[in-house]
A and B are shown apart, each in its own frame.
Chain A
Amino acid sequence: MSSLNKTLEIKTSPHIARGVSTDMIMRNVVYALIPVSIFAVYAFGLSALLVLITAVVSCVLTEHLLCVLTHKQSTVGDWSITITGLLFGLTLPPNFPLWMVFFGGVIAVALGKFIFGGLGYNTFNPALVGRAVLQASFPVAITTWHPAFSTDRFSTIASSTLTFPFMEPVYDTVSGATPLSVMKFEHIAAKTSDLFMGLTTGSSGETSALLILLGGAYLVYRKMMNWRIPASIFLSVAILSGILHTINSQYPAPDFMLLSGGLMLGAVFMATDMVASPITPIGVWIYGALIGTMIVVIRVWGGLPEGVMYAILFANAFSPQIDNLIRPRVYGTSSRWSRT
């Protein structure tokens, strides 16, 4: 009987699985970020390219070395660290000194991700942790913006980009002001269409709302992103800033609020970090509303023109508690707020 000579597999059910795997999801997020990255290089030139490459390399290298040092199998292959690196690079000013980029990348991975236990355990979005440390350490460099579409952007590299390690950057051109700082300090709003198409100054990856939304739409279509998170952020920002704008037209209008600064990039690609956001639909709406509210509060009343990064980190810290409090109603039970 030939059937007795088989090597049969013994494993637990179910015996079939869906094709989607974690590394595939992560790879698709990278795909969704490619148009944004290309546009960043197109708008800001060689300096932005160097920043992005340095960010990705520093993150991937740090993760790999930390795995080797702790005798673990390298987790670089799951692609999640590439997302972190790319996102981190996209949140930085295009003329940011490369040594600072590298330093921030190491921090993002070591303190933002690895120390918590790696993929799946990070409380905060690692890219934002890296950026927050840079913001605290180099407040001038991280708020000095290179103007977009300068004519020599593909032939020269900004002098600040190549700053010698541990030195303060020297800026050779007149720095551009972001629409948000112009709004904050001069109360002049940029044109909505410019903001949407990405014709303004800002961090490398945050200027083109259009491409960010396209990337997000692709991920939602592939069911690899929770659409409720950006939706709830947009909604809460629009409502809140709408109310404020109606009361006092000095406050920015909703369309400006939504399209300026890092809001689009943050709402679509950062706040949606699955690991650091709540798991239930209701919890996610609360999480998004919290981010939206914080963004408006910081932008309108805070000392800084921008608040997306802190808003997301703040909500990240709350998301485990949101999950503890908001639990889905279990089949056959009556209480939505079941706690034991």
Chain B
Amino acid sequence: MKTFRHGIHPGDYKDLTRHIAIERMPFTDELVIPLSQHLGAPSRLLVKEGDKVYRGQIIGEPAGFVSIGQHAPVTGTVKAIEMRHHPSGKLVESVIISRDPYSPQTFYNEHAMEWESLTPGELISLIQHGGFVGLGGAAFPTHVKLSVPEGKKAKFLIINGVECEPYLTSDHRVMLEQFDDVFYGIRILEKVLGCERFYIGIENNKDDAIALLNKRIPADMNGEVVALQTKYPQGAEKMLIEAVLKREVPSGKLPIDVEVVVQNVGTIAGIGMMFRFGQPLIERVVTITGPGIEKPSNLLIPIGTKLADVLDYCGGLKENTRQVLFGGPMMGAPQVYMDVPIMKGTSGILCLTDEEVTIREEYPCIRCLRCVDACPVYLNPSRLGALAKTRDYEGMLGYHVMDCVECGSCSYVCPSNIPLVQRFRVAKALLREKQAKQRKAS
């Protein structure tokens, strides 16, 4: 069975929610829509305090190429525009909308889009204004990846249904329940990219999704489902391309340089839904799971719904909960403020208890090789960690720290509990800052 080299095998813990169908979470009274939910420039505000907004109405427009539209997830009134806590820990300008309790919450603009006659450029603009980002977690604007630079060609479209993070099942449920939207979305993207063939990469811990999608691929479409051996971090773009096509993205380059575009399956389903029903990205499927939550679920949640409301809807946290994460256990971000909103990139809410959250003693590196054997991009995390300790960031550059995909496999296997990936994140940020400064100077 296909896969990439190296990587790790954490337990998948997906049984908590694997078989639970997607359920729509009711609209809450107050929602918070940060103008920055994506990588790139924050969206430009289109509404002011006191404005009436309708569900699906655009309230923020792209403020440049690497920026997207934002939409009202409910019909209601703009209560305030102010700085609010963001899941990243920062304060971010956000639109606070109070729900109109008497509105039926139907779409503002409910109709299928006529897209066959549109040019790829027009489709890309629609996707940008529809507010689409990678729903797998990175929240990189989708249209940027779809805009193939002059002279390059996207031969293959790879749909990422890997969901390699333990615990999470939102993509899995989307594939089982929204496959029509997935295939519709693929048609749109094929038109945009002009690609020859598509592959849907799914790990073999989701047998039912592999079988179902295999059966449902429309006869006129040129693509296949690729079953992959379950291994972390297969959902990382570079690893997925290697697993499916045996191609390596050159260091410092993008997937398009090996004629590939990768999109998350949830993103594709969202795009399919927009062109089928006119609905922009105003809600997403989120897995609420972990031993710390009373009622694990897969919920369809309006973007902007507050974390506390979601936890309450799932029966609340158990007494021994010690950690609430946005995302999975490998790359997720811990939350402290319960009023942060669910964002476009929030694939899961993971609640861990005293039992899973253990802070273990750090030992010196004993050069046991585990990190070298785990690193999916074949770095030497042991040496990099030693260099980071002495703050020799230039030295780390020589050991290819910039190629690190920050998957955390090294930290996971480290018997000495050294926070390797965290040190690399810091080093990369500092090096990038320095490079930007040098570029400005010269």
Contacts and interface: CB of A to CB of B under 8 A. Distances in A.
B362 to A, nearest CB: 9
B377 A323 contact: no
Interface residues of B, number: 70
A15 B356 contact: yes
B412 A22 contact: no
Contacts of B372: 279-280, 328
Given A3-B311, A274-B367, A12 B323 contact: no
Given A9-B322, A12-B419, A23-B363, A279 B251 contact: no
B48 to A, nearest CB: 31
Interface in B381-430: 382-383, 397-400, 403, 408, 411-417, 419, 421-422
Interface in A22-46: 22-25
Given A12-B422, A330-B377, A1 B334 contact: no
Contacts of B415: 18, 20-22, 24-25
Interface in B295-318: 308, 311-312, 316-317
B333 interface: yes
B166 interface: yes
A41 B66 CA distance: 73
Nearest to B309: A1
A7 B249 CA distance: 43
A68 to B, nearest CB: 19
B113 to A, nearest CB: 38
A329 B363 contact: no
Contacts of B308: 1, 3-4
A81 to B, nearest CB: 13
Contacts of A275: 366-367
B421 A14 contact: yes
A8 B248 contact: no
B367 A330 contact: no
Contact of B366 (A13, A17, A274): A274
A64 interface: no
Given A17-B412, A78-B363, A8 B369 contact: no
A11 B336 CA distance: 11
A14 B412 contact: yes
A9 B323 contact: yes
A277 interface: yes
> Among A15, A274, A332, which residue has the most Cβ atoms of chain B within 10 A?
A15
Contacts of A16: 10, 166, 329-330, 352, 356, 412
Interface string B229-247: 0000000001000100000
A292 to B, nearest CB: 20
B335 interface: yes
Q: Is the interface of B mostly helix, strand, loop or mixed?
A: loop
A119 B364 contact: yes
A3 B329 contact: no
A323 B384 CA distance: 13
A329 B276 CA distance: 46
A121 interface: yes
A226 B369 contact: yes
Interface residues of A, number: 48
A22 B334 contact: no
A340 interface: yes
B412 A8 contact: no
B382 A279 contact: yes
A6 interface: yes
Given A3-B316, A14-B408, A332-B251, A119 B363 contact: yes
Contacts of B252: 332
Contacts of B323: 8-9, 11, 15
A2 interface: yes
B334 A21 contact: no
Contact of B397 (A1, A2, A331, A340): A340
Interface string A313-340: 0000000000100011111110000111
Interface in A98-150: 117-121
A247 interface: no
A218 B418 CA distance: 26
Contacts of B330: 13-16
A331 B376 contact: yes
A3 B310 CA distance: 11
Contacts of B8: 18
A10 interface: yes
A332 B321 contact: no
B26 interface: no
B47 interface: no
Contacts of A20: 370, 413, 415
A78 B242 CA distance: 39
A1 B10 CA distance: 34
A323 B417 contact: no
B363 A331 contact: no
Interface in B331-363: 331-336, 338, 350, 352, 356-361, 363
Interchain residue pairs A-B with the least CB separation, the first 6: A120-B364, A331-B377, A340-B398, A332-B251, A14-B408, A22-B363
Interface of B: 8, 10, 166, 238, 242, 248-253, 308, 311-312, 316-317, 321-325, 329-336, 338, 350, 352, 356-361, 363-370, 372, 376-380, 382-383, 397-400, 403, 408, 411-417, 419, 421-422
Given A277-B367, A332-B251, 10 more contacts: A1-B312, A13-B421, A14-B421, A16-B412, A21-B415, A21-B417, A274-B368, A331-B377, A331-B378, A339-B398
Interface of A: 1-4, 6-18, 20-25, 78, 80, 117-121, 224, 226, 274-275, 277, 279-280, 323, 327-333, 338-340
17 contacts: A2-B316, A3-B308, A4-B338, A8-B321, A8-B324, A15-B325, A16-B166, A17-B360, A17-B417, A18-B8, A25-B368, A118-B364, A274-B367, A330-B377, A330-B403, A333-B403, A338-B400
